[in-house]
């Protein structure tokens, strides 16, 4: 007889606190099936969530959330958590416009005490909650769950280093070790963790855990001190974390609820020191297509549950990412000083292609953008030509390094800023909104934005020639527009834009891939009898002053368009025109940029619509300015 489905019939998470292990196992199976089914309809991050189903169930069984604080690092593994915390009815709206976020989000639920999406923040945030609890004389528990990939980042160590001093109460870090980042994990910490798991210690703990469970009084009535002794009985090795002041417990099997629940239950009673529980899981667990794929279905589009086959969109144009990877390979054939650097995003940035061609000239430094930038600076200082390929949003984390280690020393690091502009379903945390402002503010920086894939190829060639200062080029997520790319792209003249279409009344000055929308806007305006010039600025820094001053002189209206926040290209143009007195003669100027809000996730088209940056908005802006 099949059991009555729990998800449909009980009040979760309240009722699951009283579940026994068989009920928890049944619930985990249901949550796993629900997660797979939902993501098959929405797309999203699947493998990470499947790997933490049992852990999620165990934690919501043991903790009194939302009073107890549960923080998920990155948050891409939180779909099971959402299913268990009152959002099951909306789980098929994940990452869709108006629907649930693909990450934890404070505004979405009281069960998400801290928002995330960028990696490695959970220990710091959790420690903050623990310290706040201590200050306020409360006694809730705090748990931070961090992956083996995310624990490669400096921030995680800064937090662990501080843990013993920041709180004198309960604080637990769960290290969810699935031996995967998005790509296979890298670095010495990964090797260290693998050693912990592969040693006979892991087996021994499993056996101890079994005995422990068999003898555990139910309900558990021991004192906190006794509980600590039990938990300490699980401690094997772990000297690294012990040295940082943590009790280290593990490694333990993160899928076996009979072990996981009592060990976590006891470890949660430890209050004299922070605790790190090392849990071993499998990314993609319980869904064969995910388990068997190279990336464990880290991120997927809609798919067929039966076969696991993903619905790939067909495009005639290569992605910008692929163009970056292939162009770099071409140049590298002629220049042995070219190297590629990624911070744990080899496939996302196209550095994987470069690595296949030149395995000895590629560096995956882990989720360590700050290190990636200064590492690149060091290489550049010694005569190499590093291409540091980092998503615009993640480069924010390495900004001081860009300023202090690269720009002030005028080192020729080349920044390939992928995912510039709005990215769609990942939402505001991943939007590449700010790089024009923050890179363009730096003295000496050469900052370019590609309008199409051929322009990207030309900008890569340009940055290769810039050997006395840093340069950066930005390009969006997704496919190019289908233009031809020359066999070997030629460098651009630095600080020179191009006129794409000549007109007389309105000038639209575009930076980046809004050029296509600007051209469509020009068609609309021409149909309304308004002669329109379209210019592609190419450079946000240095600006093509001659071209822009001519546009200002010869047109009644000048509109700048960019896929970036205010304080970026439009502001640079305005400042330059003001400085040159070009605003004193009655020019009607408008700057079109992303709105001054953090936009929620949606399709990129819908987000640009909301931002007012599609063709119809550009045309309307010109008509409004003409009056
Ligand atoms: C600062 C930052 N850099 C890069 C990323 C992209 N990213 C998201 S998840 C992930 C891998 C995380 O690995 P791990 O913590 O082990 O979690 P798993 O997916 O294995 O569960 C990476 C690199 C990010 N979210 N934040
Ligand atoms: C969670 C995370 O940060 C990444 O998985 C990100 O969602 C990848 O984005 P792309 O799909 O644009 O590579
Ligand atoms: Mg991992």
pLDDT, greater one: 506 or 194: 506
Residue 221 pLDDT: 36
Tell me the C-alpha distance between 47 and 318, whole Å.
26
Q: Comparing C-alpha atoms, which of 150, 195, 154 is closest to residue 175?
A: 150
2 C-beta neighbours (distance < 10 Å), count: 5
Q: What is the mean pLDDT of residues 78-96?
A: 98
Question: Per-residue confidence at 265, pLDDT binned at 50, 70, 90?
Answer: very high
Percent of the chain's residues with pLDDT above 70: 94
Share above pLDDT 90 across residues of the chain, in percent, rounded to a whole number: 90
CB distance 148 to ligand 1 below 6 Å:
yes
CA of 363 to the centre of ligand 3 (A): 19
Give residue 1's pLDDT band: very low, low, confident or very high (50, 70, 90).
low
pLDDT at residue number 556: 98
DSSP annotation string for 395-436? HGGGHHHIIIIIITTT--PEEEEES-B--STTGGGT-B-SHH
Apex 325 CA angle, 322 and 328, nearest 5: 145
Answer whether 180 contacts ligand 1 (Cβ < 6 A). Answer: yes
- pTM check: above 0.80: yes
User: Mean of the per-residue pLDDT values for the chain?
Assistant: 94
Q: Which of 105, 426, 478 to mutate to test the pocket of ligand 2 (most atoms within 8 A of CB)?
A: 426
**From the CB of 350, is ligand 2 less than 6 Å away?**
no
Tokens of 307: 């076969």
| pLDDT-wise least confident of 105-114, 222-231, 291-300 | 222-231
Residue 45 CA: nearest ligand 2 atom is 5
Residue 164 above 70 pLDDT? yes
Task: Extract the tokens encoding 301.
Answer: 């589009």
Q: Which of 348, 427, 475 should be mutated for ligand 2, with most atoms under 8 A from CB?
A: 348
Spatial contact of 241 and 123, defined as CB atoms under 8 Å apart? no
Contact 552, 503 (CB under 8 A): no
What integer is the mean pLDDT of 92-105? 98
Residue nearest ligand 2's atom 13 by CA = 348
What spacing in Å lies between the alpha carbon of 252 and ligand 2's midpoint? 28
* pLDDT 10s digits, 552-567: 999 999 999 999 999 9
In angstroms, what is the span from residue 227 Cα to ligand 3's centroid?
A: 29
Work out which ligand 2 atom sits closest to the CA atom of 118: 3
Residues involved in catalysis: 283, 369, 397
The maximal CA–CA distance of the chain, rounded, in angstroms, is 87
CA dist., res. 570 & res. 572, Å (int): 5
Query: CB of 48 closer than 6 A to ligand 1?
Result: yes
175 in contact with ligand 1, CB cutoff 6 A: no
Please indicate whether residue 299, judged by its CB atom, sits closer than 6 Å to ligand 2. Answer: yes
pLDDT-based confidence at residue 215 (cuts at 50, 70, 90)? very low
Complex ipTM > 0.95 = yes
Residue that has been written with the tokens 């809730």 in this structure:
140
Query: Could you tell which of 158, 367, 389 is best to mutate to test the pocket of ligand 1, judged by most ligand atoms within 8 Å of the CB?
Result: 367
Q: How far is the CA of 66 from the centre of ligand 2 (A)?
A: 27
Instruction: Say whether 158 counts as a known binding-site residue.
Output: no
Whether residue 220 is predicted with pLDDT greater than 80 in this model: the reply is no
Residue 230, pLDDT > 60, answer no
What's the CA-to-centroid distance between 182 and ligand 2, angstroms? 9
Going from the C-alpha of 567 to that of each of 400, 428, 438, 572, 575, the distances in angstroms are 19, 17, 9, 8, 10
Q: Is 409's pLDDT higher than 50? A: yes
According to the annotation, is 178 in a ligand binding site?
A: yes
Sign of the Cα pseudo-torsion (212, 215, 217, 218, in order): positive
Hey, what's the torsion of the CAs at 72, 397, 414, 406, to 10 degrees? Answer: -150
Q: Which of 202, 198, 201, 150 is nearest to 176 (CA)?
A: 150
Do the strands 539-541 and 446-449 form a parallel or antiparallel pair, or are they unpaired?
antiparallel
Average pLDDT over residues 295-319: 94
> Is ligand 2 within 6 A of the CB of residue 118?
no
Instruction: Please say if the pLDDT value at position 582 is more than 90.
Output: yes
Convert the pLDDT of each residue in 484-512 to its tens digit: 999 999 999 999 999 999 999 999 999 99
Compute the half-sphere exposure of residue 197: CA atoms within 13 Å on the CB side of its CA.
21
Indicate the pLDDT class of residue 211, thresholds 50, 70 and 90.
very low
For 419-423, what is the mean pLDDT? 98
From the CA of 103, give the closest atom in ligand 2.
1
C-alpha of residue 149 to centroid of ligand 3, in Å: 5
| 102 touches ligand 2 (CB under 6 Å) | no
Ligand number nearest to the C-alpha of 177: 3
192 is in an annotated binding site: no
User: Across 69-163, where does the E strand assignment appear?
Assistant: 69-72, 142-147
Ligand 1 pocket residue status of 367, Cβ below 6 Å? yes
Q: Residue 206 pLDDT more than 80?
A: no
Q: Tens digit of pLDDT for each residue in 114-142?
A: 999 999 999 999 999 999 999 999 999 99
Any atom of ligand 1 within 6 Å of the Cβ of 319:
no
Residue 165 has pLDDT above 50, yes or no: yes
Query: What would the two tokens of residue 446 be?
Result: 């050469």
If you search the block for the tokens 């390939």, which residue do you land on? 416
Is 227's pLDDT higher than 50? no
Domains and their CATH numbers in the chain: 19-294 (3.40.50.970), 320-474 (3.40.50.970), 498-626 (3.40.50.920)
Q: Are 418 and 391 in contact (CB under 8 A)?
A: yes
Does the annotation flag 76 for ligand binding? yes
Q: Please enumerate in sequence order all residues whose Cβ is within 8 A of that of 333, keeping only pairs 6 or more positions apart, or say none.
A: none
Q: Which of 57-66, 216-225, 245-254, 407-416 has the lowest mean pLDDT?
A: 216-225
297 known ligand binder: no
Identify which ligand lies nearest to the alpha carbon of 420: 2
- Over residues 275-304, the pLDDT tens digits come to 999 999 999 999 999 999 999 999 999 999
Nearest atom in ligand 1 to 119's CA: 26
Q: Check pLDDT > 80 for residue 112.
A: yes
User: 90 alpha carbon to ligand 3 midpoint, in Å?
Assistant: 27
Q: Taking residues 358-378, what's their average pLDDT?
A: 98
| 369 annotated as a binding-site residue | yes
| 555 carries a ligand binding annotation | no
Please report which confidence band the pLDDT of residue 232 belongs to, taking 50, 70 and 90 as the band edges.
low
- Nearest CA to 216 out of 199, 203, 233, 202 is that of 233
């Amino acid at each position: 007889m099949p059991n009555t489905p729990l998800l449909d019939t009980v009040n979760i998470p309240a009722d699951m606190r009283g579940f026994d292990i068989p009920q928890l196992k049944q619930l985990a199976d249901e949550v796993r099936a629900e997660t797979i089914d939902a993501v098959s309809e929405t797309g999203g991050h699947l493998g990470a969530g499947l790997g933490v189903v049992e852990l999620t169930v165990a934690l919501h069984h043991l903790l009194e959330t939302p009073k107890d604080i549960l923080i998920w690092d990155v948050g891409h593994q939180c779909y099971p958590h959402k299913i268990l915390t009152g959002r099951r009815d909306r789980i098929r709206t994940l990452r869709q416009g108006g629907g649930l976020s693909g990450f934890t989000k404070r505004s979405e639920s009281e069960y998400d005490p801290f928002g995330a999406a960028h990696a490695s923040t959970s220990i710091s945030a959790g420690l903050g909650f623990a310290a706040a609890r201590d200050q306020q004389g409360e006694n809730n528990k705090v748990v931070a769950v961090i992956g083996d990939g995310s624990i490669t980042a400096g921030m995680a160590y800064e937090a662990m280093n501080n843990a013993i001093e920041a709180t004198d109460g309960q604080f637990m870090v769960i290290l969810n070790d699935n031996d995967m980042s998005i790509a296979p994990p890298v670095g010495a910490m990964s090797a260290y963790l693998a050693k912990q798991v592969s040693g006979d210690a892991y087996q021994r703990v499993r056996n101890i855990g079994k005995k422990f469970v068999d003898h555990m009084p139910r309900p558990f009535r021991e004192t906190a001190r006794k509980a600590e002794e039990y938990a300490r009985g699980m401690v094997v090795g772990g000297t690294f974390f012990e040295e940082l002041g943590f009790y280290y417990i593990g490694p333990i099997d993160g899928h076996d609820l009979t072990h996981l629940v009592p060990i976590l239950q006891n470890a949660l009673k430890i209050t004299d020191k922070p605790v790190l529980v090392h849990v071993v899981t499998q990314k993609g667990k319980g869904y064969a297509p995910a388990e068997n794929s190279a990336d464990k279905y880290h991120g997927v589009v809609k798919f067929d549950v039966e076969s696991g086959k993903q619905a790939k969109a067909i495009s005639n144009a290569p992605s910008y990412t692929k163009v970056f990877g292939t162009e770099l390979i071409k140049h590298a054939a002629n220049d042995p000083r070219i190297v590629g650097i990624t911070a744990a995003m080899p496939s996302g940035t196209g550095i994987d292609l470069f690595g296949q061609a030149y395995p000895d000239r590629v560096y995956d430094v882990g989720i360590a953008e700050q290190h990636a930038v200064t590492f690149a600076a060091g290489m550049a200082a010694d005569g190499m030509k590093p291409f540091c390929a980092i998503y615009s949003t993640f480069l924010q984390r390495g900004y001081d390094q860009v300023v202090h280690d690269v720009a002030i020393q005028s080192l020729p690091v080349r920044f390939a800023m992928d995912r510039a502009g709005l990215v769609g379903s990942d939402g505001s945390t991943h939007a590449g909104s700010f790089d024009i402002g923050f890179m363009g503010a730096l003295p000496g920086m050469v900052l370019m934005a590609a309008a199409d894939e051929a322009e990207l190829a030309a900008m890569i060639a340009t940055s290769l020639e810039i050997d006395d200062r840093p340069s950066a080029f930005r390009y969006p997520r997704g496919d190019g527009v289908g233009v031809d790319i020359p066999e070997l792209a030629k460098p651009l003249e630095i600080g020179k834009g191009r006129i794409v279409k000549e007109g007389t009344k309105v000038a639209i000055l575009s930076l980046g891939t809004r050029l296509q929308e600007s051209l469509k806007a020009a068609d609309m305006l021409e149909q309304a009898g308004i002669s329109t010039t379209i210019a592609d600025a190419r450079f946000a820094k240095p600006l093509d002053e001659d071209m822009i001053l001519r546009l200002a002189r010869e047109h009644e209206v000048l509109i700048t368009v960019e896929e970036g926040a205010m304080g970026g290209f439009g502001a640079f143009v305005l400042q330059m025109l003001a400085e040159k007195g070009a605003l004193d003669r009655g020019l009607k100027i408008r700057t079109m940029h992303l709105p001054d809000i953090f936009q929620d996730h949606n399709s990129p088209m819908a987000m640009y619509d909301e931002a007012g940056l599609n063709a119809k908005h550009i045309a309307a802006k010109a008509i409004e300015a003409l009056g």
